Chain A
């Protein structure tokens, strides 16, 4: 079993829909990152969380440390939100990030 599990793997939705991407992990962490990568493009760090909730524009990220779970929400989704979204956790025992497999999101107009 992977230490970081993301769901769904693929998600196709209509423009305007509310999107939720989930990330569960099985290790103790000090921080969790959500990242976005457009096809053939660079990587953008969306959020870094260690507790609670953060909001940036139409993006909201939450984390529940006790349940070892984080969610990324996109409100009023738009075709330009189409990208791969990946969560990555940093565990205390080393310097590496453990990456989820990514969620490929397609928003249709």
Chain B
């Protein structure tokens, strides 16, 4: 049973380009969480999704960032017109149930570098 799969592991973009980060949750998991980790800092919640629904996006910047978790395929975190401040590690986690009852499993992260 594969764990949470994130790709790409490393992504380099120039300012103004778009970054797309993908997360395939563990098999059977329908809850996906995205977190951002700036260098030398802890994790910051961005968005919580279930299949085809955004449940909580209160941690997402209002502009340039969007997330989806379609019925088929991985969850996508999309960052448009990237800026240097977007350079960070983006972690995806999944669980079978809501966090209060389900164990949380993390992917290896996608490390975005904006030049």
Contact = CB atoms under 8 A, between A and B. Distances in A.
A38 to B, nearest CB: 11
Contacts of A35: 106
Contacts of A78: none
A94 B107 CA distance: 23
Interface in A84-98: 86, 88, 90, 92, 94-97
Contact of B105 (A45, A95, A96, A97): A45
A57 interface: no
Interface stretch (B14-22, B62-70, B77-85, B93-101): B93-101
Contacts of B105: 45
A42 B106 contact: yes
Given A45-B106, A48-B103, A95 B43 contact: no
Given A43-B91, A86-B42, A102-B42, A97 B107 contact: no
State which size class the interface on B falls in.
Answer: 20 to 34
B104 A45 contact: yes
State which size class the interface on A falls in.
Answer: 20 to 34
A90 B106 contact: no
B55 interface: yes
A44 B106 contact: yes
A95 B106 contact: no
Contacts of B45: 96-97
A45 B91 CA distance: 13
B1 interface: no
Given A43-B93, A94-B56, 10 more contacts: A30-B99, A30-B101, A31-B100, A31-B101, A42-B91, A45-B106, A90-B99, A95-B56, A99-B42, A99-B43
Interface of A: 30-31, 33, 35, 41-45, 48, 50, 86, 88, 90, 92, 94-97, 99-102
